[in-house]
Structure 1
Amino acid sequence: MPHPLFHASDFHLKRRAASLAIAALLAFASLAVALAGVIIPARPAPASVAAPPRGELRSADGRVLAGGDLPRRVYPLGPLAAPVIGFVGASGGLEGLERASDPQLRRGEDLTLTLDTRVQAAAESILTEALERTDAEYASAAVLDTRSGDLLALASVPGFDPNAWRATPPDRWRNRAVLDEYEPGSVVKALTVAALLNEGRTTPDTQYDTPMWRRFAGATINDIVAHPPTLKTRQILRYSSNVGMTRLVEGVPAELLHRYFTAYGFGRPVRLGLPAGDGLLRDPADWSPLTQATQSFGQGLTVTTLQLAVAFNVLANDGRYVTPRILAGAPSTSRRVLTPQTAATMRELLHGVVDDGIKTKAELPGYHVGGKTGTAQVVVDGRYSAQVFSSTFAGFLPAARPRFTVAVMVRGAKREYQGSQLAAPIFREISSTLLSLYALRPEMVRPPTAEP
């Protein structure tokens, strides 16, 4: 029997209140879960976006020079053209074209170089043999297609293997053909004579008084190769007469020679898409009569091997400067520096320099080339060294209608350091490769002499 004070209505009220409390608690819990889902959403797993594969570097003859992505980048031809190609690190290109063309390669673009691996390999091998034979420090060479300006070879030795670049001293990474600046010596005489011929200030057969030594502008200028006391302009080149060059440039305005040297490309970096040295060419206002004379025969100014090749290419290319290229399809420009007649005359004169002086050193039987040697003392600790020399040769082939222009430099040879002993034979051997690869027929007669 229910307690008298406990009514049924109270029981039902308490039961309803408990039910409402439980319902409210469940509703609050559901709301809290829902709100938690809004405020702190579940973070989706990031979508993986694959980077495009790194582009390849290929040669003009279709060989892969660099391929694969950054962690697994490989260089199938090893040391071949390594200072040009460069190498990569974990984050991108570090040297050479790997660095200079890093944005394009990152986008997956394949780049074709103008280099012919056959010419490149031959140039590197010939230079390396010369280093070993003469115990020289290093050497470089540039081989141009005369008309297009395409670089068929750009060699710097000793080189390195980009597959193992960390194990190589950094000086081996250096693209010396483009970066290293040096005094070229007598090879510049040809460019000076071309400027004076072009301006009508001399002719090939103008005669000059040329003793074996001469006091000029407070200094004694000496010649090395014995020669007659009177020389024509063509013979000044043939005997590489410093005294003769002082006669040629005496009284010539400094601005005139400076304008031609600038037009040849001296004193400014070659636009190649790679870091490049600009060389030293002083303002003409700073030239004294003595510095003008010494610069006319290649002392007191500096060039790179590529600059030297491009300058001589003006003589080979009918007087037009053509911008060199290392990447196929890159823009190329040209401008006139000399008249076609002046260029033809210089080709005839420089063929005579070879045939009448160093024929067996620079030329193969049955072929005709033109060029000029240079031997320059190297400045060491602020003074010209009597033991360290730069040996140079620049020239073109065939002499009458050049297809190729070549420049060579060897530094620090302990033996056979004269340009005629060292650089000229290197030119001859590179020429032999070009003649063979491109099937150029022998010329059994000497090219006709150009009229002055």
Structure 2
Amino acid sequence: MWTAAFLAFTSLLPAFFKLSWAGEPRVNAVTPTRGAIRLMDGTLVAVHTPQGRQYPLGPMAANVVGFLGADGGLEGLERTLNAELAQGKSQTLTLNGTIQAAAEQVLEEAVKRVEAASGSVVVMDRHTGHLLAVANWPTFDPGAWAGTVPAQWRNRAFVDEYEPGSVIKALTVAALLEENLTSPAQVYETPMRRPYAGTVINDLVPHPSVLRTWEILRYSSNVGMTRLIENVPPMTLHRAFQAFGLGLAVELPGPTANGSLAAPDRWTPLTQATMSFGQGLSVTNLQMAAAFNVIANDGVYIAPRLSPDQPRRTRRVLRPDVARTMQRLLHAVIDEGIQSRAELPGYHVGGKTGTAQVAIGGRYSSEVFTSTFAGFFPAEQPRYTVTVMVRGAKREYQGSQLAAPIFRDITAYILSMNGALPALIPPPTTHEADEVGAQSDRAAERSARASREAAGPEAGPVHGP
């Protein structure tokens, strides 16, 4: 086993050395008339020279950095930070050159292979909220922007809104665990088709007719989600989604979109059901990374940061025990479902796929899909959160077929960069997942009892079973 693991690890080294150029390009210091833009390690990505504005790394992070015109910054940070840069004030970004190069390379290769329209990747440091990579496709060379079109300039990770699909199921389940409205081992009747709220909800992946909560995630069951949320007040789920950052602005240098999350008084039983499995609301890839990082970060939301000078803003969303339960369940979802597509042998991750039809002209298309994956690694002690979104793939458009392997290949570069050894923890079994559920049930019971005692004898239960 160790020989195989060693070979798997060493096989990643050529790719790592191939990317090592990302941290090397330097430009000799000059007296600036416009401030420089640097990566976290000091590598220059935009610099003033006697020959004009230069972009030493070419297309790397171009959609974030933007470009300069005759009258000042025209796109990206060159535009939004134009006043500061024009005064000679340099800017440092949180981006890691090696991770940025890896994310861009993996995304480009995948998008071209399936002939997709666009895509983006966000890599976030679990503890600090630093954005270590923001990759977009299509992209461009900011030093030759005049020969490109505006569609290539968009920082799609920050501004493109999409319906996330089944990745949202992880947030829904986490919210219900937080409110003690379900437990990982709770059992639900889950036929493949269920009449609900005037329509019929269908599942695609064959599964048993009875599923526990964690298995609803494992089989990505829409029917199961209707069972989970049918008696939940809309305000409860809406409040949880907002706590995860959905529908809210993300304050960063440069434009960002808010996504859409309707007010709870506009929800019907059907819209609540569809939102619980990722339709009827929209997000950006940036928002999804920050939301999923709550699970990786033991329940604490950290606002994404593109500059180390940005203040660190946090809020608690989930109890630590709920977040850690979700970490284990999402690890089981991968290992029991799409292990080879989402993780390398010996390296464990947690995450969830999503596939959603794209609304075109007011109707859901049967041909255009978004393929998504949101996850974190290492599963046993998360350090990175990674989200992937690809739109309009002509083949292999399922999240498990397209987005999950992109996540896997990016983690391969990062593991190689860090010299990470394979974990010795075996994948969780169904029995172990059941025990997680039993532990969560006991913890929820203790929490509810403590809340009742603190509230006094007349207050009654805080939450129902």
Short-chain TM bin: 0.7 to 0.9
1:237-266 deviations in Å (ceiling 9; x for gaps): 000000000000011000000001001111
Q: Equivalent residue of 1:408, what SS?
A: strand
- Note if 1:188 corresponds to 2:157: no
- Note if 1:211 corresponds to 2:191: yes
In 1, the alpha carbon distance for the partners of 2:32 and 2:171 equals 49
Superposed displacement of residue 439, structure 1 = 2.2
Question: In the alignment, what sits opposite 1:411?
Answer: 391
Question: In the alignment, what sits opposite 2:295?
Answer: 315
- Note if 1:335 corresponds to 2:318: no
Question: In the alignment, what sits opposite 1:349?
Answer: 329
In 2, the alpha carbon distance for the partners of 1:395 and 1:148 equals 17
Q: Equivalent residue of 2:367, what SS?
A: strand
Question: In the alignment, what sits opposite 2:306?
Answer: 326
Q: Map of 1:155-194 to 2, 5 A cutoff?
A: 155-194=135-174
Superposed displacement of residue 62, structure 1 = 2.3
Question: In the alignment, what sits opposite 1:388?
Answer: 368
Superposed displacement of residue 446, structure 1 = 3.0
One-letter amino acid of the counterpart of residue 358, structure 1: I
In 2, the alpha carbon distance for the partners of 1:252 and 1:70 equals 64
- Note if 1:368 corresponds to 2:348: yes
- Note if 1:398 corresponds to 2:382: no
Question: In the alignment, what sits opposite 2:92?
Answer: 112
Q: Structure 2 residue aligned with 1:147, among 108, 111, 127?
A: 127
In 2, the alpha carbon distance for the partners of 1:347 and 1:103 equals 43
In 2, the alpha carbon distance for the partners of 1:93 and 1:184 equals 32
In 1, the alpha carbon distance for the partners of 2:129 and 2:421 equals 22
Question: In the alignment, what sits opposite 2:41?
Answer: 61
1:255-303 deviations in Å (ceiling 9; x for gaps): 0000010011110121112200100100000000000000000000000
Contact 1:54/1:69 (<8 A) preserved: no
Q: Structure 2 residue aligned with 1:201, among 174, 181, 189?
A: 181
1:369-399 deviations in Å (ceiling 9; x for gaps): 0000000000111100000000000000011
One-letter amino acid of the counterpart of residue 262, structure 1: Q
- Note if 1:130 corresponds to 2:110: yes
1:57-108 deviations in Å (ceiling 9; x for gaps): 0111221100016971010111101000001111211111111111211121
What is the percent sequence identity of the aligned residues? 59
RMSD: 1.3
Q: Cα gap change, 1:144/1:249 in structure 2, threshold over 3 Å: closer, same or farther?
A: same
Question: In the alignment, what sits opposite 1:43?
Answer: none
One-letter amino acid of the counterpart of residue 422, structure 1: L
In 2, the alpha carbon distance for the partners of 1:70 and 1:374 equals 49
Contact 1:213/1:243 (<8 A) preserved: yes
Q: Equivalent residue of 2:336, what SS?
A: helix
In 2, the alpha carbon distance for the partners of 1:91 and 1:330 equals 27
In 1, the alpha carbon distance for the partners of 2:159 and 2:218 equals 30
- Note if 1:295 corresponds to 2:275: yes
In 1, the alpha carbon distance for the partners of 2:64 and 2:395 equals 29
Question: In the alignment, what sits opposite 1:441?
Answer: 421
In 2, the alpha carbon distance for the partners of 1:224 and 1:70 equals 60
Could you state the TM-score of these two structures normalised by the residue count of structure 1?
0.87
Superposed displacement of residue 189, structure 1 = 0.2
In 2, the alpha carbon distance for the partners of 1:108 and 1:269 equals 29
One-letter amino acid of the counterpart of residue 188, structure 1: I
Superposed displacement of residue 401, structure 1 = 1.1
Superposed displacement of residue 441, structure 1 = 2.3
In 2, the alpha carbon distance for the partners of 1:61 and 1:286 equals 48
Aligned pair count?
402
Q: Equivalent residue of 1:68, what SS?
A: strand
Q: Equivalent residue of 1:420, what SS?
A: coil
Superposed displacement of residue 447, structure 1 = 6.8
Q: Structure 2 residue aligned with 1:221, among 201, 213, 218?
A: 201
Larger Rg: 1
Could you state the TM-score of these two structures normalised by the residue count of structure 2?
0.85
